[in-house]
Structure 1
């Protein structure tokens, strides 16, 4: 038995020695005749997507229900990089920046609402018809490609109170796409479009946020990635050069349940919801704690106060009047201040309900707010304008008119 084991050991050693000798012989021949193995062969066993690349792919996949996928249409190549045409010295308050209202709602169809029904019920929410909540049809990524640069994001805890996700009122927009995931979608897009500047407005969607909600958002907006991609200035809007490749933060939320140092260490412009006048056509808010003379002039008349059952044209006319009044103020007063206008509105308490789509696009007989603005906006400077169902393929800089 011992003899048999020793014999097998000798055979194994001999086979190993022959294998090594053969391998060394092959290497000598290759070296002697200067033969190179194909680089693809050498790399195939050791190369592939990096861990960083795979991680980003995973995050972008998780973000997809809200962020979407970037468009590669040739028609959008110019609009995806339109800011390239303007010098770094251009002040942001001197630019017209188009945006989308309730940007996360683009995919909120009745099919999606039905899929989220049980999660919503678990959280105690029973949203009405999906058309009452949907304000967009183009994804965030698609809107970026089409030239939109300002995005309205509404967040709150998910049903399990473990992650911040996107809502419109009591309508959950996705169970999986978190605020953190979607921000990485913006970061990635800015890496691919470094000439562009983006403004993100964050607003807590449900009543009475707790300290946990405030802390969760603070950690997301002050993470190492956020510090790289968010403009770190507080209370000021600089020039385009400082904002290129970055996100300027509009904070429609408070951190009043956290110690003061948290508020003092987060960047962006603060528009406290406690100071925001609900459903007002003319809001005036300070945004620079170091300069009390700097104001934002805001129109957020989202629910026209017209009589019920007065038809579609009456609330559309009321909204259009409030909207154009604020846009005209941007052309005639306070040339160095921030103007912020929402083109979106709804009147879902009417019978039949008037949805955001109807207010924006009309009903085939009555033209909507968007149609009224189509030609008008080409002739004036208007600051920030947030669209519902925006389909604009061209944007204009306020500096074009001096």
Structure 2
């Protein structure tokens, strides 16, 4: 095993798979796990940080029958989940380490889409995480980016995976969907080449990890199949995916099939032999409004796309298909700029009297209580505070 892989394997064995022997080996494994979690903290966070009163939905999946299809339940999600800890201070500190592709980085507020960590989100009921990855500036490890913004020089993809797996070890009735997208526009001449693909495969497989990752392919599983495991949503293509069952398990939603910025949503066939289809809305920038549009018009455009997709999700057709609705968006090039926080939360003045998308979602979700919506992916999921509960169909 290369480098610290043996320590990560021991950590997984002791704390997650519970196979390490007692005594010194177990102590070493626990120490190794703590190191991994510490290394990943800038992206994964610390799930001990959540207040006990905020953990009403920490184990909400455990109460559902094993036979429940993941596509039959409402799953709260977070868009660009790794950005929660990204500030202007972070950007300034990493200026000379980032070495992006020649473009000038925007202010940090353009890249930040959350303010609570992955760990806190897990404790608060979020079960789908949108994550963007690429090689670090030296090409040695996989780390988290949002476009040209490097989220952390310390936390690796593998560190964060072990954080999620460790959380699942404590909450074995739950399932976590991790959507990984390879980020371009990071360092000069970056590509998803063979070496980057190898690092991604190593992060997800081997060293006892097969039991931590759902091994099914090309169909929507039940909770019984996936409890205590990660379901991989692959928004990237691996060399060899066109041979047999592909290189990695999970749901393959490659970039060529992901239609860019379509306000009407789109159907993505992720298994051609069975015609298994996901229905997706990812209208992330209302650029058709022009560059001098009002903040309210941008929020309204996004809300229109979200509500239209919700109507499709609650219809009787395609009941077994996965629906994914991104409520997140921005229009950073607009004047005034509509950054993710403004789109989600408004700007706190009379300019946005009804708030942002998140505030307007409250009444929409209340009106759809008890309906199947599928995966609902949020920016700044913590505001309003009952938003996750409303996605789950709980009135608070």
Give the TM-score normalised by structure 2: 0.84
Is 1:361 aligned with 2:345? Answer: yes
Higher gyration radius (CA): 1
Shift in alpha-carbon separation, 1:125–1:220, aligned structure 2, 3 A: farther
Give the corresponding residue for 1:33: none
Shift in alpha-carbon separation, 1:164–1:222, aligned structure 2, 3 A: same
Contact 2:180 2:235 in 1 (8 A): yes
Mapping for residues 202-241 of structure 1, pairs under 5 Å: 202-206=180-184, 208-241=191-224
The range that moved more, 66-75 or 55-64, is: 66-75
Shift in alpha-carbon separation, 1:250–1:393, aligned structure 2, 3 A: closer
The range that moved more, 168-177 or 73-82, is: 73-82
Equivalent-residue separation in structure 2 for 1:306 and 1:209 (angstroms): 33
Deviation at 1:363, TM superposition (A): 1.1
Give the corresponding residue for 2:62: 84
Is 1:126 aligned with 2:126? Answer: no
Contact 1:147 1:395 in 2 (8 A): no
Is 1:58 aligned with 2:35? Answer: yes
Give the corresponding residue for 2:320: 336
Is 1:159 aligned with 2:159? Answer: no
Q: Could you tell me which of 299, 307, 311 is aligned with 2:281?
A: 299
Shift in alpha-carbon separation, 1:250–1:47, aligned structure 2, 3 A: closer
Q: Could you tell me which of 267, 273, 280 is aligned with 2:249?
A: 267
Equivalent-residue separation in structure 1 for 2:244 and 2:196 (angstroms): 13
Bigger proportion of residues as helix: 1
Q: Could you tell me which of 179, 200, 204 is aligned with 2:178?
A: 200
Q: Which runs of 4+ in 1 moved over 4 A?
A: 46-49, 122-125, 258-263, 395-398
Mapping for residues 299-318 of structure 1, pairs under 5 Å: 299-304=281-286, 305-318=288-301
Contact 1:235 1:290 in 2 (8 A): no
Partner of 2:115, secondary structure, is: coil
Give the corresponding residue for 2:19: none
Superposed CA deviations along residues 89-126 of structure 1, whole A, max 9, x for unmatched, are 11111000010000000001111111111112477563
Contact 1:132 1:355 in 2 (8 A): yes
Equivalent-residue separation in structure 2 for 1:122 and 1:148 (angstroms): 31
Contact 1:76 1:393 in 2 (8 A): no
Q: Could you tell me which of 314, 319, 322 is aligned with 2:302?
A: 319
Deviation at 1:49, TM superposition (A): 7.2
Q: Say what the alpha-carbon RMSD is for the aligned residues.
A: 2.0
Give the corresponding residue for 2:379: 388
Superposed CA deviations along residues 44-99 of structure 1, whole A, max 9, x for unmatched, are xx989700000000000000000000034221332111112211111111000010
Deviation at 1:307, TM superposition (A): 2.2
Give the TM-score normalised by structure 1: 0.83
The range that moved more, 134-143 or 88-97, is: 88-97
Equivalent-residue separation in structure 2 for 1:202 and 1:231 (angstroms): 15
Equivalent-residue separation in structure 2 for 1:370 and 1:397 (angstroms): 15
Equivalent-residue separation in structure 2 for 1:96 and 1:178 (angstroms): 29
Is 1:243 aligned with 2:211? Answer: no
Instruction: Give the unaligned 5+ runs of structure 2.
Output: 1-22, 186-190
Deviation at 1:261, TM superposition (A): 5.3
Equivalent-residue separation in structure 1 for 2:235 and 2:155 (angstroms): 21
Shift in alpha-carbon separation, 1:353–1:225, aligned structure 2, 3 A: farther
Shift in alpha-carbon separation, 1:288–1:224, aligned structure 2, 3 A: farther
What is the number of equivalent residue pairs in this alignment? 352
Give the corresponding residue for 2:334: 350
Is 1:110 aligned with 2:88? Answer: yes
Equivalent-residue separation in structure 1 for 2:147 and 2:212 (angstroms): 29
Contact 2:381 2:388 in 1 (8 A): no
Contact 2:131 2:144 in 1 (8 A): yes
Equivalent-residue separation in structure 2 for 1:125 and 1:52 (angstroms): 42
Partner of 1:50, secondary structure, is: helix
